[in-house]
Amino acid sequence: MTATVPPAPSPSPSDSGQLTDAQGRVELAPGAVPAGGRFVNNDLLPVPLANRHWTTYNFAALWVGMAHNIPSWLLASGLVALGMDWKQAVFTIALANVIVLFPMLLTGHAGPKYGIPFPVLARASFGLRGANLPALIRAAVACAWFGIQTWIGGQGIFVLLGTIFGGWTKAAEIAGQPWTLWLCFVVFWVMELAIIYRGMETLRRFENWAAPFVIVGALVLLVWIAMKAGGFGPLLDQPSKLGWGEDFWPVFFPSLMGMIAFWSTLSLNIPDFTRFGAGQRAQVWGQTLGLPTTMTLFALLSVFVTSGSQAVYGAPIWDPVQLAAKTDNVFGLLFALVTVLIATISVNIAANVVSPAYDLANLAPRFINFRTGALITGVVGVLIMPWKLTETPELYIFTWLGLVGGLLGTVAGILIADYWIVRRTHLELADLYRPEGRYWYSSGWNWRAVAAFAVGGVLAIGGSHSAPGKGPFPEDGLIPLLKPLADYGWAVGLAASLLLYTVLMLPQRRRHG
């Protein structure tokens, strides 16, 4: 089921400097936006209709490639560590990805229709200058994720090479880690940036073959452990420590928000990819087939493989790298090494480099293009050193993912309200790039969007709290009155900002019809 590029009928011009084809897809008319403007560069301009050719398979492959990575494999283990059984963990992950799919499809609609990236779409609601607020928040989150994924990928290479070359892990230490681990980290970092530096078309081709390769690698791991185990171990029979009663729900809801937050980043910047789509059918079917199904099946796969490891080794081994390192077959180790490399690169460059590259380009279009933004992302991602966030499930799921999800849900609510409710999916393309247009608001800022973001953000994360000794927040919450809302941060932020922004924009909507 793939969408093909439709024949290109002659687009019809409008008085606003944009051309519309028979499918309702829009592009700028020649000369509608002066070259070299303060808010323009080639990477931020709409993708021409002729270059919008990503198909259903391309989008599905993108999601398969992004979902099959070590952190998503470990999601189920984090939930099991919190007391869930495997069925509860897989259910939580599946429900979260079905929920996050909806805002992703809504924000993704602007991509095939207008060919614009996320920071340019944000200009319609926040203003030409104000769009830097959500863009830089998204970029900061992506830089942190880039550091996490790169460190995990480097560790994977380090462990597998250590099994092949005995003394690899015993090397002299630098800053508390073997120098060989730092070498793996740097090599992996360079490989990622080399791919994305070649542009989005290279990324599309990489994801096309990376997705099936990683699926095969995961299935090989399942077959291998099943053969060694002669079946699956007692993990599948282990009862939930929480049950389905009053002990379950206080863990379920913040865990659900954390699982939603895992991909809530992409629910904002998915236009960065859908702008290359051949049409709405391609992005809708591609994402629907790619995201919730893949994440659910991957969670099941991780549970079955870990269960088999418990039967073989007497204890569950959730980390696929540590499990693969148990084999004494050199070919098997090399295959695992390549799979880990491809899986981690696949998600990291797509999810955590593309967005900040565009976001940073939006900050200073004259000086920063897509490639420069990608290099800045790589440097910042190393300097942040955010891998400590994964040390405990409480810190990773409740603190990091919960906080990120609350803020990004707030931005998503504003984008959806502006594009679907206020503007009914109608944008004036040229005005997204020129001062004094309809999206200039007050000196480039829309105070209504900023107000909605501030209120939604406070409601979403103001009640953030940590158990004693297990996080950075007070036990009673940053704002004790809002503590009951903290477990629902993403949903609270999205709903509050969507409603408030819609109300604040009513006078503006009436004025412009």
Token couple for 164:
């092949």
Q: Please list, in sequence order, all residues whose beta carbon lies within 8 angstroms of the beta carbon of residue 2, skipping any fewer than 6 positions away.
A: 55, 56, 57, 282
Q: Do the domain assignments include residue 295?
A: yes
The pLDDT of residue 5 is 42
The pLDDT of residue 22 is 80
Q: Are 361 and 370 in contact (CB under 8 A)?
A: yes
What share of residues in the chain are helix, strand, coil (percent, to 5)?
A: 70, 5, 30
The span from the CA of 191 to the CA of 272, in Å, is 22
Q: Do the domain assignments include residue 461?
A: yes
pLDDT tens by residue, the chain, 513 residues = 444 444 444 454 444 678 888 888 898 888 888 777 789 988 899 999 999 999 999 999 888 888 877 778 777 777 877 788 888 888 899 999 999 999 999 999 999 999 999 999 999 999 999 999 999 888 888 887 888 888 888 888 888 788 777 777 777 878 777 888 888 888 888 888 888 777 667 777 777 788 788 888 888 888 888 888 776 766 677 677 777 877 888 888 888 887 887 788 888 889 999 999 999 999 999 999 989 998 888 888 888 888 888 788 877 787 787 787 787 777 877 888 788 788 888 888 887 888 888 888 888 888 888 888 888 888 888 887 755 655 555 555 556 656 776 788 899 999 999 999 999 999 999 999 989 889 999 999 999 999 999 999 999 888 877 777 666 777 787 888 988 887 788 889 999 999 999 999 988 765 554
Q: According to DSSP H, which parts of 270-369 are helical? A: 271-274, 280-313, 320-324, 330-352, 354-363
The pLDDT of residue 423 is 93
Q: Do the domain assignments include residue 241?
A: yes
Q: Do the domain assignments include residue 28?
A: no
Q: Do the domain assignments include residue 34?
A: no
**CATH number, domain with residue 292:** 1.10.4160.10
Q: Do the domain assignments include residue 196?
A: yes
* 3-class secondary structure, 221: helix
Q: Do the domain assignments include residue 511?
A: no
Q: Which domain holds residue 76?
A: 43-505
The pLDDT of residue 120 is 95
The span from the CA of 146 to the CA of 406, in Å, is 20
Q: Are 96 and 260 in contact (CB under 8 A)?
A: yes
Q: Do the domain assignments include residue 31?
A: no
Domain count, the chain: 1
